[in-house]
Amino acid sequence: MDNTHLCDGRIRWVPSSCRPTVFREVMRMRGILLAVCVLLLGSTLAAFAVPLCSYQSPLTDLSDLELSFSYEYHNDPNGVSSEDVSSGEFAATYVRLYDRPEYGFDVDIDSDMVIVEPDESSYIIRADANFKRYFASQGDLFAFAGASARSSPLHDSLGLTAGAGVGYGRFTDVTPLATATRIDAYLVRRGSLIDHLHAVDLQILAYEISSAAEYDSTADLLAVVQDIVEDSGLVRQDGLDALDISEMMDLIDDEEYSRYCGWDAKVGLGYEVLDPSGGDNDLLVTAAFNYAFSTAPNVQFLVQGILSGPPALAEQNTIDLSVSYDYMAYEFLTLRAAYGFSRETWVGMPTDTHRVSLDVVITPLRSAGVVVGLVLEHRPYYLEWSVDATLAIEIELL
């Protein structure tokens, strides 16, 4: 596929420069930039009054099902039919993270299908599932067992691996405290609160929000939240109005919003039940590391790394690393950046793939959005980086 065209078939990189000649204009621009930095930094530092990752939830149950679709069409202006492009991409991702003091499990399914007319198409399906049992309900040491499956036209058959091992670490759902902080920030910004809520009040709010299932209705929970805010002594003289209460209801009901923190590291042994290349079933050594961090309600940072291969890791191994950063600039606008690295080593010769993506997500509806993205990718034997500009529709079902 030609990855360097957009609309008229080309991506143009146009250098530009701006050289203000008036000193006062320079100072004015610097002042505006400084004000923006203070506003952005201030909103982040305000969250440090109660660090999100200090919140401990007795139950973490996060799930996310996301669908996206994009289509690209290009008619070669020179009339060369082989240069015409008509392609579509469909992707589906499901993630489930469950953790309680005694045990936990995680499920991660990712599929990506690309269809190019007339006869070029490909797909990749990956599924991982793990169950872990903690040695102590208040401890972080655990044993795990899991399975991993892979499917692609590049493989001769389905790849299936089963494994077990030990690990250390936990993840916790900090969404209740993040939601409480969002409510606090909204009320302060609107002037309904004369100052930010005390840390104790935020913790109480988070506890009630995390106990939503125990209430008969969201309205009952909202009444309790309203009482906590009003009892803080920081509400303006007129009290909370209908718009404040409506916004608090929307923030509490926002099922698409989630934040989590924590980390875990795992090592173990696996067995190749089905070899995708049709070769012998091998014993595998596996190691994995996952990290999640949130400095503020509008920020989520994730790192995932996996290493696997036969006991002779130096000769043959697979490494996957992904880093992502989400920043919710506004309720309807999210900026996303991600980097992915994949290495397959055969007979001591590594082949590396790098992928960088930058997305602007506009969500007029909480369950659906439009994604404008730029993807840069470099694969083995590429002479230069490929560039894709995409416009996609994204739907979150869970």
Both 240 and 340 in one domain: the answer is no
77: helix, coil or strand?
A: coil
- Select from 253, 273, 294 the last residue of a domain: 253
pLDDT value of residue 289: 93
Both 194 and 78 in one domain: the answer is no
Both 238 and 281 in one domain: the answer is no
With respect to residue 118, please indicate whether it lies within any of the assigned structural domains.
yes
Task: Transcribe 295-348 into DSSP letters.
Answer: SSTTEEEEEEEEEEE-S-TTTSEEEEEEEEEEEEEETTEEEEEEEEEEEEEETT
pLDDT value of residue 120: 67
pLDDT tens readout for residues 212-235: 888 988 899 999 999 999 999 999
Both 275 and 392 in one domain: the answer is yes
Burial 331-368 (b: 16+ CB within 10 A, else e): beebebebebebbbbeeeeeeeeebebebebebeeeee
Residue at token pair 């009290």? 239
CB 242 within 8 A of CB 157: no
The encoded tokens of residue 53 equal: 């990752």
With respect to residue 226, please indicate whether it lies within any of the assigned structural domains.
yes
pLDDT value of residue 118: 53
Residues 138, 143, 145, 146, Cα dihedral to 10°? 60
pLDDT value of residue 83: 67
Domain count along the chain: 2
CB 370 within 8 A of CB 391: yes
pLDDT value of residue 294: 93
Both 277 and 370 in one domain: the answer is yes
Both 235 and 269 in one domain: the answer is no
305-314's contacts with Cβ under 8 Å and 24+ in sequence apart are 308/161, 308/270, 308/284, 309/284, 309/285, 309/345, 310/282, 310/283, 310/284, 310/285, 311/283, 311/285, 313/285, 314/345, 314/348
12 CB neighbour count, 10 Å cutoff? 6
Instruction: Write out the chain's pLDDT in tens, 398 residues.
Output: 434 333 333 333 333 333 333 333 333 433 433 343 334 434 444 434 568 898 888 888 888 888 877 777 767 677 777 666 777 778 888 989 899 999 999 999 988 887 766 566 778 888 999 999 999 988 999 999 999 998 887 677 788 999 999 999 999 999 999 999 999 999 999 999 999 999 999 999 999 999 888 898 889 999 999 999 999 999 998 889 999 999 999 999 888 788 999 999 999 999 988 877 777 777 899 999 999 999 899 999 999 999 988 888 888 888 999 999 999 998 889 999 999 998 888 777 788 899 999 999 998 877 778 889 898 999 888 888 988 888 877 777 66
- Select from 253, 276, 294 the last residue of a domain: 253
With respect to residue 138, please indicate whether it lies within any of the assigned structural domains.
yes
With respect to residue 349, please indicate whether it lies within any of the assigned structural domains.
yes
Torsion sign over Cα 387, 320, 263, 67 = positive
pLDDT value of residue 326: 95
CB 161 within 8 A of CB 153: no
Both 148 and 297 in one domain: the answer is yes
Both 208 and 268 in one domain: the answer is no
C-alpha angle 324-330-336 in degrees, rounded to nearest 5: 15
pLDDT value of residue 82: 66
211: helix, coil or strand?
A: coil
pLDDT value of residue 24: 39
With respect to residue 311, please indicate whether it lies within any of the assigned structural domains.
yes
Both 238 and 307 in one domain: the answer is no
> What is the value of pTM for the model shown?
0.75
How far is the C-alpha of 376 from the C-alpha of 353, rounded, in Å?
A: 11
Q: Which domain holds residue 349?
A: 60-164+260-396
Both 135 and 190 in one domain: the answer is no
With respect to residue 3, please indicate whether it lies within any of the assigned structural domains.
no
Both 148 and 204 in one domain: the answer is no
pLDDT value of residue 208: 93
- Residue 319 pairs in a beta bridge with 307, 343
With respect to residue 230, please indicate whether it lies within any of the assigned structural domains.
yes
Both 347 and 271 in one domain: the answer is yes
With respect to residue 380, please indicate whether it lies within any of the assigned structural domains.
yes
- Mark residue 174 as left, alpha or beta (left: phi above 0; alpha: psi -120 to 50; beta: remaining): alpha
Helix, strand, coil proportions of the chain in percent (round to 5)?
Answer: 20, 50, 30
pLDDT value of residue 26: 32
> Radius of gyration (Cα) for the chain, nearest Å?
25
- Select from 232, 253, 274 the last residue of a domain: 253
pLDDT value of residue 37: 39
Phi, psi dihedral angles at 210 (to 5 degrees) = -70, -20
